[in-house]
Amino acid sequence: MTRCDRCGVELKVGDFPFCRGAGGHGPWRVSVIDDQLEGGPRRFETMGHDAPYIASKSQWKREVAQRGLVHVDKHDRAFYARMFKQHDERLRDTGRTED
């Protein structure tokens, strides 16, 4: 539990941390990034033979650092479709595949 040093109001998670005299306490103007994984907790089989069960983003970061892994963000099909299209247009316009 945290209290405001100035007015003594109990601050909750997401409350604005400044006193009422300077704008007030409340849940506005504060953004909190959650620690939940998209899709929920699960076993990460791509981290090695002993696939860890990970329930949060912070736990995932610790596990990646502990194993010395490098995060690679793979692109979706739309990315590759755009690259194929640009390649085909470049080949059509210039007759070459590279600039």
Residues 49 and 10 in one domain: no
Summarize pLDDT for 71-99 with one digit per residue, the tens: 777 777 788 888 889 888 888 888 776 65
pLDDT at res. 9:
72
* Tens-level pLDDT at each residue, the chain (99 residues): 577 767 777 767 666 666 655 555 555 554 556 788 888 899 998 888 899 999 999 999 999 999 998 877 777 778 888 888 988 888 888 877 665
42 in the same domain as 7: no
Say if residue 20 is in the same domain as residue 41: no
Residue 48 domain boundaries: 35-99
Residues 98, 58 share a domain: yes
Whether residue 39 is found in the same domain as residue 28: no
Domain count, the chain: 2
Whether 51 and 88 share a structural domain: yes
Q: Do 13 and 41 fall within a single domain? A: no
pLDDT the model gives residue 66: 93
Q: What is the 3-state secondary structure (H, E, C) of the chain?
A: CEECCCCCCEECCCCCCCCHHHCCCCCCCCCCCCCECCCCCEECHHHCCCCCEECEHHHHHHHHHHHCCCCCCCCCHHHHHHHHHHHHHHHHHHCCCCC
